[in-house]
Structure 1
Amino acid sequence: MKSENNLKRDIVEVKDVKLQRYSPIHTAGPVIEPGNWKESDPFLLLMEDKFQKGSFDIHPHRGIETVTFVIDGTIEHYDSHTGDGGILGPGDVQWMTAGSGVVHNEVPSEGVTAHSLQLWVNLPRSEKMTTPRYQNLMAKDMPVRKEDGALIRVFSGSSKDVISTTKNHVPVTMVEMVLEPGASVTQNLPGSYNGIIYLIEGSGIFGNNEVRASRGQVLWLGVCKESGESEVDITATEPLRLVLYAGEPLMEPVVARGPFVMNTEEEIDQAYLEYRQGTFLKH
């Protein structure tokens, strides 16, 4: 579909993200708050964290994917079951599919304060118990779209004709944008996608309704009433860095408790029972 025929997205809400101190080594705040399942579908939550080693202990997940974007610092991650691991640096992403179950941890390197965004993507009922998978998406290896004064790194989905090879159980577009002052870009999205923009640095003008926003704010994209392609307009008013997340809603029941997200209370109870009994990873 030609650009001029695409539906232009408005920005329907702008919110400040407020970080609070949970301990001397951990400060965090919700970019997407949990519980508003219908509005954020397929996303469950998005947290911004500034943390040091010791903030988190080894923990399990089932029924979701976690997408960890490192803004600053380095994070060492490992799976205590398989022994898989690695190091993520600034601009890198880990796309972890928990599926039937993982037990893992993410730890900043010694003496480092890591700054990250972690998104939880819901898995559809048919994929809740899929085989776990780790995809380490290094910034240097990601496909890049370049426009005048703009660089768009495509971690998942596409941006115009630049397409990521990241594997998805749920269709998700994730792009990082870095714009010089005065630069303008348009991001294409399927009209059915829900989505947000989070501003890491700078300020700009966003959407068809030309909303102004700045660092530390999250912008919610308006819902399209029609199918087909849509577009989001972005213009930088000062050096701008942002991440855009958008995905296809699942429209399924969500039951979340702790690190597990399933479709029924019985499935959640079963996950906790298996974890206590030591059979959690035997699927």
Structure 2
Amino acid sequence: MRKRARRRPPLECWKICIFSACFILQRVEMLVHRSGPFRVRPVRPPRLKAHAPCMEADRVVSDRRSFDALPAMNDEGYRSVRRIESVNKIPFWPTWAGGGIRAMLLNNRDEWDPFLLLAHHKHSFSPWDPLRRIQKSIMPEGFPMHAHGGIETVTYMIEGGFLHCDSHDATPSAYRKGSVQWMEAGTGILHQEMFETFSNRNADIELYQLWINTPTDMKMRSSSVTMLGDEYGRPLPVVRRESGDGRVCRTEVIAGIVDGQSPDFRTNLPVTILRCTMQPGADFEHTLPSAEDTAVLYVRRGTILLGRADADKRPTRRFTYGWTDLFNQEPKERMSEDATASEGDLVVLERDGTKVRFTNTGPGEADVLFLSGPPLRE
């Protein structure tokens, strides 16, 4: 007697249909446009004559000659305040119920090196949401056990909590608002990160996660996890600066040095990670260390104006990224060094100059994440 084939449960069939549809859409998108939906491709603005000394300096360094051979830069060729390379509008992708993510795969290494990925998560989980039970069976609320190797991950909690366990400590522990987890993957580490939710109240969760490349000679080191924050006895320094009219810019130093203050933690790479919250009209200015050529900033909230008002006018490249690269808009040029960036904008700065400057021009508070570091060229 022939056995009847076992019918798949309805929920399992739905899973197969959903994942199959996602796979087909991804393949079609890649075939049509040959790039992922998150890819950011900044385009260099036209070179000016004033850039000639900088270009000559790049040529000399690439030839590995002595730094004494670098040409002297006069006032015309040297820019103290960094210019804007591009302004990129990043889409907000819905993921878990009541939330989404802005994910920025920094895969153009020449522009982003040593940074690999920046993700801005914002979620709200309600215990009375009828769809959560169905969704959790398809997509867990967080990131189950997975592996990392050869990089560093930095997780900064803006709101809510993350439940973390790893191959060093299997006991889940929560780190919450204002805390930072700095994980060096080294030769390899397994870890799990799940959102901290509750059965009797809403859970609002917001965080940044940054991936940083490490030099080749550091990739084979032992893995480690370091926690920063008040509850761990390593508070993050906060620098308050007032402009002439009393407007306050509050800078939280996650990594690096600002006004002589730095966290009680030594990073493998001399990177700078700052969170700036600014009152309307407040200014932010930071002098970059000489080795930190790469500089990027992301606007979480508000509107800011970047650059110098008295500098030479030039086009500013703008890119808008939709659900897929098929719906990209043509770059919009603006003939000014001053570029306005608003919520969801990722700004890339050129590498000539020693200072970064921006002003909150919006009616409310501005919240900006600033990153800089030395390129590894690996």
Larger Rg over CA atoms: 2
**For residues 247 and 9 of structure 1, what CA distance do their matches in structure 2 show?**
14
Give the Å deviation of 1:185: 2.0
Q: What is the deviation of 1:174?
A: 0.5
Aligned to 2:102: 29
* 2:153 paired residue number: 66
Count of aligned positions: 244
* Preserved CA contact (<8 Å) 1:192 1:223: no
Q: Between 144-153 and 84-93, report the one with greater CA deviation.
A: 84-93
Counterpart CA distance in 1 for 2:174 and 2:95 is 25
When normalised by structure 1's length, the TM-score is 0.79
Q: Give the AA of the match of 2:212.
A: V
User: What residue number does 2:217 align with?
Assistant: 126
Deviation at 1:85, TM superposition (A): 5.5
The alpha-carbon distance between structure 1 residues 84 and 245, as it changes in their structure 2 partners (threshold 3 A), is farther
- Provide the rounded CA distance (Å) in 1 between the counterparts of 2:99 and 2:366: 26
1:145 matched to 2:239? The reply is: yes
1:163 aligned to which of 262, 276, 291: 262
Higher mean displacement: 184-193 or 11-20: 184-193
2:348 is aligned with what amino acid?
Answer: W
Opposite residue 234 of structure 1, the aligned amino acid is F
User: Separation in 2 of the partners of 1:49 and 1:166?
Assistant: 25
Which one is further off, 53-62 or 100-109?
Answer: 53-62
> SS of the counterpart of 1:199?
strand
**How far apart are the structure 2 equivalents of 1:183 and 1:49?**
26
What's the Cα RMSD here? 2.3
2:299 aligned residue = 199
- CA 1:113/1:129 → structure 2, altered by over 3 Å: closer, same or farther? farther
1:39: how far off? 1.7
**Aligned residue number for residue 85 of structure 2:** 12
> What is the CA–CA distance in structure 1 between the aligned matches of 2:263 and 2:306, rounded to whole Å?
24
Partners in 2 of 1:241 and 1:184 — Cα distance? 12
Partner of 2:347: 219
The offset of 1:122, in angstroms, is 0.3
Indicate if the aligned counterparts of 2:141 and 2:194 stay in contact, CA closer than 8 A. yes
Deviation at 1:152, TM superposition (A): 0.7
The offset of 1:139, in angstroms, is 6.2
Counterpart of 1:41?
113
Contact 2:96 2:141 (8 Å CA) reproduced: no
Rate the CA distance shift 1:73–1:189 in 2: closer, same or farther, 3 A.
Answer: same
Which protein is richer in strand relative to its size?
Answer: 1
SS in 2 for 1:57: strand
| AA in 2 matched with 1:134 | V
Counterpart contact for 1:156–1:165, Cα < 8 Å:
no
Q: TM-score, normalised by structure 2?
A: 0.60
SS at match of 1:190: coil
Give the distance between the partners of 2:227 and 2:94, measured in 1 at CA.
29
- The question of 1:250 aligning with 2:372 is answered no
Q: Do 1:93 and 1:139's aligned partners in 2 also have CA atoms closer than 8 Å? A: no
| Paired position in structure 2 for 1:135 | 226
Report the alpha carbon displacement of residue 178 of structure 1 after superposing the two structures with TM.
1.0
Query: 1:7–1:191: 8 Å Cα contact kept in structure 2?
Result: no
Alignment partner of 1:106 out of 186, 193, 199: 193
Alignment partner, residue 50 of structure 1 = 122
The Cα shift of 1:114 comes to 2.1
Structure 2: gaps (5+ residues):
1-74, 126-139, 243-247, 309-336
Instruction: Write out per-residue CA displacement over residues 131-166 of structure 1, whole angstroms, 9 at most, x where no aligned residue.
Output: 212121226811121111111111111123223332
- Say which of 187, 195, 205 aligns to 2:286: 187
- C-alpha contact (below 8 Å) 1:207/1:232 kept by paired residues: yes
Tell me whether 64-73 or 46-55 shows the greater mean CA deviation.
46-55
SS of residue matched to 1:58: strand
Q: Which residue of 2 aligns with 1:235?
A: 359
1:139–1:217 CA distance, 2 compared to 1 (3 A): farther
Rounded Cα–Cα distance in structure 2 between residues aligned with 1:178 and 1:34: 24
CA contact (8 A) 2:287 2:356 kept: yes
Q: Match of 1:42, as an amino acid?
A: P
Question: Counterpart amino acid of 1:251?
Answer: R
- For 2:85 and 2:298, the matched residues in 1 are separated by 14
Distance in 2 between residues matched to 1:160 and 1:71, nearest whole Å: 23
Supply the distance in 1 between the matched residues of 2:345 and 2:147 (Cα, whole angstroms): 30
- The code of the aligned residue for 2:259 comes to K
CA 1:132–1:84 in 2, change beyond 3 Å: closer, same or farther? farther
